[in-house]
Structure 1
Amino acid sequence: MTGDLLVRDVRPVPLDPDDPPGGVVDVRIRGGVVAEVGPGLAAAGEPTWAAAGRWVVPGLWDAHVHAEQWVRSTTWLPMAGTASAADACARVAQAVTRRVDQQSHLAHADPVPALIGFGHRLAIWPSRPQVADLDAASGRTPVVLIAGDVHSGWLNSAALSALGLGHRRGVLAEQEWFDVFPRIGELPGADPTASDWRNAARRLAARGVTGIVDFELGAAWRAWPARTAVGWDAVRVRAAVYPDALDDVIAAGWRTGDRLDDSGLVTMGPLKVISDGSMGTRTAWCCDPYAPSPLDAVPGEGWAGAANVGEDELARLLGRAHAAGLGAAVHAIGDRANRAALDAFAATGAQGSVEHAQLLCTDDIDRFAALGVTASVQPLHLPDDRDAAEAVWPGRTGRMYPFRSLLDAGARLAFGSDAPVARPDPWAAMAAAVRRSDDARGPWHPEQCVSWREALAASVDGVRLTPGAPGDLAVLDSAPGPTVGVVATVCAGRLTHTTEGPTA
């Protein structure tokens, strides 16, 4: 799935501080790789596409996606904005009622299609949700409500039974939930089709995305070759592995960067370790206690979250991955978890990223650059977390999403979405990093704002349009900004999206 293409008359967007203003050039891609960049390149028999002086950037990457759940999420019931468990149950009851006519053909013994909801925020609810309340709202319809941070799930009895789980009173959280989350596809009507996958790739290409890092739970690295075989052909994928399958990857001899399929679009990604929880479930591991709340996993004062993986075990996993040629991606939300992640990178010499890096101790910011560890961050979480953070981490929010401080310290930022937690729209993510607001309020901690150039540089996987680079481009209708549109996308030398006519 590589091609030859000559893109004529494009204006490269400057990505580095010392880059001169962009002049108009041609870009020749041969065999999926940039071969030449310069003005007036002579055609050599390859297809051409005329950009008419528009701006061009390297293909965009989303550095943090849960691909299968994102594809599924296009059919999920939106639960964002619910203020309580009762509010959520009312929304579920309405959705179940709307389905009655659609399911009138089902016999009583037929499986009822599951209702999946997504987006509620436990941190702002006044009390913990109960299974019995969801049962009363849903009847025999299996219901799974996935929290907006994806660190907990609220299942009714029908869903618990369908998945072979025992009775329980409340939500599933952290590892117990992560064990169940990949199995949602076992519920009736929940699994995406081949057409769903193809359409998802097209939606990404329409935003200029040419690559994602997939952190789907389960064996995503095994599943991806079949997806490219049935039509996922517009976006590159790095597929991660979790500790439960690390032995399998090592036994197979896979190293980060190795090709996993015939198309060449799918490669082996890093080892992913979820070292702590999330702010929304009040399980992120922090140096200081949360503000007291009835939602605390351990009621009373002094609750500061907890590690999902002990520090010694985290270092062991990173060391083992490093020795086997695998990079590492460590989920760390709380400041204590981020410190432990950096300690593990320092102790093992492993290379990779801290995923989220949401709350940092000031003393740890310089360590990212010193260790060569990427801060893989999700700017769209920033406006989503703004109000909840002030409630659960009062006095600490100046150390949340410290993009400016990380850049000034020499760290590498990589932007992603954590889809389906946030939509996989790199332009919206860049705008959130630049504005630090998505409503009429001013910037949240404006001292941490970044420029559009810096935001774009954090969205292109470190690539520059030079010979030898991947043949991935996004052609824009204007200089990067809040209203930019993508006119064309090229992945591996193939035109995967265009709003204009066919290739000449």
Structure 2
Amino acid sequence: MKVQVLQNAEIYTGDPSRPWAQTLAIAAERVVALDQEAARWEDAPGAIVTDMEGATIIPGLIDSHLHWMWYTLARDELALRDLTREELLQQVAQKTAEVPPGAWIQGRNWDQNLWADDRFPTAAELDSVAPRHPVVLTAKSAHAVVANSAALHAAGITAETPDPAGGALGRHADGSPNGMLFEQAMQLVLAAAPEPTLDEVITALRGAQEQLLAVGLTGIHDMDGAPAFAAFQALHRTHTLRVRVVKYVWQDALEGVLAAGLRSGSGDDWLRFGGLKLFADGALGARTAALCAPYEGEPENVGLLTLEPAQLLDIARRAVVGGVALAIHAIGDRANQLVLDTLAAVRPLDQSLRHRIEHVQLITPADQPRLAKLGIVAAMQPIHAPHDQLMAERHWGKRTATAYAWRSLLAAGTVLAFGSDAPIEQFDPLLGLYAAVTRRHEVNGAPDAAGWHPEQRLDLAAALHAYTWGAAYAAGMETYLGLLKPDFLADLVVLDRNIFTLPPAALLAARVTQVMVGGKWQWGTLVS
């Protein structure tokens, strides 16, 4: 049994009963002792003793909500983040010169809310620069796409194409499609685009693990669909997983999951089945998040429910009876209310399951205490708050007083599990921690020194808890993951400074120097 002792360190354990230590002993994959008890392990046969030279060590960070396959594959697509409408069209035009006519052009992360003219892009605009290539570009929210005429034609979309359940096509006054597709309608055109092979997905996921480790992520909860699950299983079989993965699948996989008897928690500490990811509504950026009252300045728009209440309840009931936990996307207050009602109805069927609401971006004061009462995890992404501020104020108005309400939810007893929603946002957890404790944009400090709705700021310990133990709790792993204490898995991150003794701005300057997962150095100068 391999024994390691890390000494002369500032170790934040995350354990409220013993938050700090100076020495940590590890045997095989787990922490076995702290401080004086740990020092005794230095005499174990073959023990490796490492002087950490005063470095700060924290528990391994877990991103509880990202789309890793989507991120890795999107690196080969047009990067449209922060571009103007004109710059977007220039990027598309340039790409047409690089690929043969008829080849698909795809891109991601455009955001019309940043444009001087914030209307959605159109097929006609794309046609003007790419008449001979099918083009489909996904919005930053991932809840809308714009396609040109060639892509619409390839997908068989015409004026006669009906809006699918839970989705809508943008249309001209005569009913013909204008190129925009929202929510479930997106699949009409995305299904016509070429799909990556399993080998391509495996290669992309394997290589990109280095990026996760480099920012201190020792685990992820992946929200992509079944193809990603197959790729992660291939990496697991070949012992090339370097971070822990909790995998959720989408609604289209439910029947297969139930038929196979796959239950939440199946797997091991490296690859674990989390449950079923469902969507109750859309997103703020696309103005499809389901609201109790209309969007500001749009009296007819209350967003979209992507599943009707009876349908959501039926799917949830079948999943829970089959032992499958639910992770349900809900952004608007109406959607959060519906999801809470649904989970309240199905929870008695199996109270051992860890259900979660993904995002919880806008929730009424009356609904805030319900998550804790029902034992529902709030899986939230702190970086959304400062990045969404202007958009939220424009479309939700005074309702933003109860938006991104981390402090209120925590005060009510809710378990928070933090993540990034990458590639919609960056997956660096230090940026997420900064957003959680300041409610400020990391680039320009907006809105001011106090932060946006500063009453919802968290202290660093609470924010870090949501990135460690809270994320472990969401996956049912909290009894042995997320803290640095005896019998817990030795997942840890070494930082170049003590983020607890410095101002919050230090989070933006801090750097990860080493990362250990399961007692093995996976990244940095001490790689095993």
TM over 0.5: yes
Greater mean deviation of Cα atoms: 309-318 or 326-335: 309-318
Q: Which one-letter code corresponds to 2:195 in the other structure? A: E
Q: Which one-letter code corresponds to 2:518 in the other structure? A: A
Greater mean deviation of Cα atoms: 487-496 or 40-49: 40-49
Shift of residue 133, structure 1, vs aligned partner: 1.6
Mapped contact 2:296–2:394 kept (Cα < 8 A): yes
Mapped contact 1:128–1:170 kept (Cα < 8 A): no
Percentage of pairs with the same residue:
32
**What does 1:412-431 align with in structure 2 at a 5 Å threshold?**
412-431=415-434
Q: Which one-letter code corresponds to 2:318 in the other structure? A: R
- In structure 2, the partner of 1:316 is 314
- Residue 212 (structure 1) aligned with residue 220 (structure 2): yes
2:346 and 2:491 map into 1 onto residues whose CA distance is 34
- In structure 2, the partner of 1:166 is 157
> Deviations 1:317-342 (Å, cap 9, x if unpaired)?
22222222221101000111111111
Shift of residue 195, structure 1, vs aligned partner: 4.5
Q: Do the aligned partners of residues 274 and 28 (structure 1) sit closer, same or farther apart at CA in structure 2, a change above 3 Å counting?
A: same
Q: Which one-letter code corresponds to 1:336 in the other structure? A: R
- In structure 1, the partner of 2:342 is 344
Given candidates 502, 505, 517, the residue that maps to 1:491 is 517
Mapped contact 1:276–1:283 kept (Cα < 8 A): yes
- In structure 1, the partner of 2:267 is 259
**What does 1:84-233 align with in structure 2 at a 5 Å threshold?**
87-88=85-86, 90-97=87-94, 100=97, 102-103=98-99, 112=103, 114-121=105-112, 125-161=117-153, 164-167=155-158, 168-178=177-187, 181=190, 185-186=194-195, 192=200, 194-228=202-236, 232-233=240-241
Mapped contact 2:135–2:148 kept (Cα < 8 A): yes
Q: Do the aligned partners of residues 329 and 4 (structure 1) sit closer, same or farther apart at CA in structure 2, a change above 3 Å counting?
A: farther
Given candidates 239, 244, 249, the residue that maps to 1:241 is 249
- In structure 2, the partner of 1:270 is 275
Given candidates 395, 399, 414, the residue that maps to 2:398 is 395
Greater mean deviation of Cα atoms: 450-459 or 232-241: 232-241
Shift of residue 229, structure 1, vs aligned partner: 5.1
Q: Do the aligned partners of residues 395 and 270 (structure 1) sit closer, same or farther apart at CA in structure 2, a change above 3 Å counting?
A: same
1:159 and 1:25 map into 2 onto residues whose CA distance is 60
Mapped contact 2:103–2:134 kept (Cα < 8 A): yes
SS of residue in 1 equivalent to 2:221:
strand
- In structure 1, the partner of 2:493 is 474
- In structure 1, the partner of 2:11 is 12
Given candidates 289, 292, 301, the residue that maps to 2:297 is 292
Mapped contact 2:491–2:516 kept (Cα < 8 A): yes
Q: Which one-letter code corresponds to 1:197 in the other structure? A: L
Q: Which one-letter code corresponds to 1:454 in the other structure? A: A
1:212 and 1:78 map into 2 onto residues whose CA distance is 23
Q: Do the aligned partners of residues 191 and 158 (structure 1) sit closer, same or farther apart at CA in structure 2, a change above 3 Å counting?
A: farther
Aligned positions, number: 476
Mapped contact 2:68–2:205 kept (Cα < 8 A): no
Greater mean deviation of Cα atoms: 7-16 or 195-204: 7-16
- In structure 2, the partner of 1:62 is 63
Q: Do the aligned partners of residues 231 and 387 (structure 1) sit closer, same or farther apart at CA in structure 2, a change above 3 Å counting?
A: farther
Q: Do the aligned partners of residues 238 and 394 (structure 1) sit closer, same or farther apart at CA in structure 2, a change above 3 Å counting?
A: same
Mapped contact 2:96–2:130 kept (Cα < 8 A): no
Structure 1 gaps, min length 5:
294-300
Greater mean deviation of Cα atoms: 41-50 or 306-315: 41-50
- In structure 2, the partner of 1:411 is 414
Structure 2 gaps, min length 5:
159-176, 348-352, 473-481, 500-505
Shift of residue 173, structure 1, vs aligned partner: 1.0
Given candidates 452, 457, 460, the residue that maps to 1:452 is 460
Shift of residue 249, structure 1, vs aligned partner: 0.6
- Residue 282 (structure 1) aligned with residue 291 (structure 2): no
- Residue 432 (structure 1) aligned with residue 442 (structure 2): no
- Residue 366 (structure 1) aligned with residue 369 (structure 2): yes
> Deviations 1:383-423 (Å, cap 9, x if unpaired)?
22111111111111111101111111111111111111001
Q: Do the aligned partners of residues 50 and 234 (structure 1) sit closer, same or farther apart at CA in structure 2, a change above 3 Å counting?
A: farther
Mapped contact 1:29–1:36 kept (Cα < 8 A): no
2:45 and 2:25 map into 1 onto residues whose CA distance is 12
> Deviations 1:285-310 (Å, cap 9, x if unpaired)?
111111124xxxxxxx2421231112
- In structure 2, the partner of 1:297 is none
1:340 and 1:14 map into 2 onto residues whose CA distance is 38
Q: Which one-letter code corresponds to 1:391 in the other structure? A: R
1:336 and 1:502 map into 2 onto residues whose CA distance is 48
1:390 and 1:338 map into 2 onto residues whose CA distance is 19
Shift of residue 94, structure 1, vs aligned partner: 4.0
Shift of residue 186, structure 1, vs aligned partner: 2.5
2:25 and 2:132 map into 1 onto residues whose CA distance is 58
